[in-house]
Structure 1
């Protein structure tokens, strides 16, 4: 149902298509948070790879590098805990000029949007449109939260006094066909998510 019909009401009976659309929205909101995230993330165009352990993370990361021919290329990475993945595959990440991709963790994964929540800890002061077009995220199942407000609460509790700046989400992982005011100014990213089971 369009926004204007919801606000001003409609004298006509809702179409079967509108009823089905509303049913799908309500139906998916009853899913467990991890399934809801997976559904919305894939709907947004993200590439989802589930990993049971760190060996699988390494193997899948190598598969991504091979698929995109990123071996011995340049990457943007601001987190020391991820440097070994790049070192093992001879990917340059210091003083890069033309990084092919960003390798990063994230603050949280937001289920109701299927988005990824970042802070300055992962992307420094860069805006989403200043990041490379290709992004590889390493996250854990315990980082999946229902909403953005839950994510902000976790950040506030986690960092207490040393609160990170530049908190942002990336939600669109492929070019939107029909742009509207909700997607205006967003930059689509080719995003891979390596999701490590930790629960």
Structure 2
């Protein structure tokens, strides 16, 4: 130690205790990072007009029309004017499907859905591109927390057909990984930051 350092006092680096918890990234930010890194398209919407605008932009970007899009729920039909799926039709005949989700899983960037959103259909039966509507209160830390929240949400009857949707990564396309083998989909997530 030099003379001047002794005289003026050398400042010691503050070491962080190994017993302090690590700084946690908020669930919403963690999810968005992981979701977009995998190739998901996250569109933040502050109001219903932005949802309509983004939905129309998705249609234009992919050169789809409303007849090539379906949904399972009446409220989506009313807000976006999309055809409600009828059992006599086949989901494969459509370019995309609009669904809601149960939870957005932050530590993986996956999306949890159940029979409330996709009915009895398996993910491989749905179109390769999905447009998913989510809300600000649907983030969960991990699958375990999401399953607990799902159980608490539906106390009378726990949903069936519970699954997570993975985002189709274009890098995997080069590795010849099939979309239907790993539940991967091209996903547009319209995230609603309002009630």
**How many residue pairs were aligned?**
167
Tell whether the 8 Å contact from 1:79 to 1:121 is kept in structure 2 after alignment: no
| 1:67 aligned onto 2:61 | yes
CA distance in 2: counterparts of 1:184 and 1:120, whole angstroms: 19
Taking structure 1 as the reference length, what is the TM-score of the superposition? 0.76
Counterpart-to-counterpart distance in 1, 2:153 and 2:39: 30
Secondary structure of 1:163 counterpart: coil
2:190 to 166, 186, 194: 194
Q: How far 1:146 moved relative to its partner?
A: 0.8
Preserved contact between residue 111 and residue 146 of structure 1 (Cα < 8 Å): yes
d(CA) in 2 for partners of 1:184, 1:133: 9
2:120 maps to which residue? 125
- Deviation at 1:37? 0.3
Structure whose alpha-carbon radius of gyration is higher: 2
Q: Which of residues 62, 72, 84 in structure 2 aligns to 1:78?
A: 72
Which residue in 2 is equivalent to 1:43? 37
| Correspondence for 1:163 | 158
TM-score of the superposition, structure 2-length normalised?
0.77
More helix by share: 1
Paired position in structure 1 for 2:132: 137
Partner SS for 2:97: strand
- CA separation of 1:179/1:70 partners in 2, compared to 1, >3 Å: closer, same or farther? closer
Give distance in 2, aligned partners of 1:188 and 1:94. Answer: 22
CA 1:184–1:75 in structure 2 vs 1: closer, same or farther (change >3 Å)?
closer
Q: SS in structure 1 opposite 2:84? A: coil
In structure 2, runs of 5+ residues without a counterpart are 1-21
Structure 1 residue 92 corresponds to structure 2 residue 83: yes
Looking at secondary structure, tell me which structure has more strand per residue: 2
Residue 178 to residue 94, structure 1, CA distance change in 2 (3 Å):
closer
CA RMSD of aligned residues (A): 2.3
Alignment partner, residue 145 of structure 2: 150
